[in-house]
Amino acid sequence: MIGCIIQARMGSTRLPGKVMELLDDKNPSLYYTINQLKNSLNVDKIIVATTKLNEDDVIEKISKNNKIDCFRGNSNNVLDRFYECAKKFKLKKIVRITADCPLIDPKIVDSIIQIFNSSNYDYVHNMEPRTFPDGLDTEVFSFKILEEAHKNAKLPSEKEHVTLYFRNNKDKFRIKNVISKKNMSSHRWTLDYQEDLDLIRNIVKEIKNRPILMNDIISLFNKKPNIFEINKKYLANEGLTRSLEEDKKFLN
């Protein structure tokens, strides 16, 4: 069974409560992440993984409202939370999506799952080097290597960023980075700042098709490039960069 685990929490440092910010008149960001993924043809089960903190009760509520299981685990060690979630639901193949990707494209998710299924890779992703828009990050890997990461990861960054242990140990794992036909890494459709939220609300308003696909957004960009200027100042992977700085303190 292929299970998709969505990481979600209310305690974002850059935009607190972002997963519950409304993207339209009634539906929050997490609703979009879940329902975009429901259109995947290759995902058998979707689970939202959050913390045991009271502030995340609302995440469990919206998961249940969308008929999705919710796992609640460690608030400080994301890798542990993710591992325990996969273990509980007996997942052998895992898709990792973060809740700051409300415009995740189910067709891209399916294509990466297909590559994973038709190969002997341990870990297939589209993130490093990035050629897809920021906000379409998709990772697929086996429970076996997740278990190895859970057992051996030592750095704080590896416990906060679930798959970083894989990329830090490329000699141990068979890894495939999926490259887009056209480099679109300059596009930012992720949700970390108010400007990101404003852009995504505009995208949701302008595009009527559901699910919203990457090509739909690119078409909108070609027609109305000015609305995409609002969040250009932000860089990709700022959260990871901060975590790597924390590693330096840990190692010293």
List, for residues 147-180, the tens digit of each pLDDT value.
999 999 999 999 999 999 999 999 999 999 999 9
Tell me the average pLDDT across 135-150. 98
> Where does the pLDDT of residue 245 fall: very low under 50, low under 70, confident under 90, or very high at 90 and above?
low
| Widest distance between CA atoms in the chain | 52
Percent over 70 (pLDDT), the chain: 93
pLDDT of residue 59: 98
Q: What is the pTM of this model?
A: 0.92
Tell me the average pLDDT across 22-43. 98
Identify the CA nearest to 236 among candidates 128, 161, 159.
Answer: 128
Tell me the average pLDDT across 191-210. 98
Q: Measured between alpha carbons, how far apart are the two ends of the chain, in Å?
A: 42
Tell me the average pLDDT across 62-91. 97
Torsion of CA 118, 123, 129, 131, to 10 degrees: 40
Tell me the average pLDDT across 1-23. 95
Q: Which domains does the chain have, with CATH numbers?
A: 2-251 (3.90.550.10)
Residues ≥6 apart with Cβ < 8 Å to 165: 79, 148, 149, 152, 153, 158
pLDDT of residue 13: 84
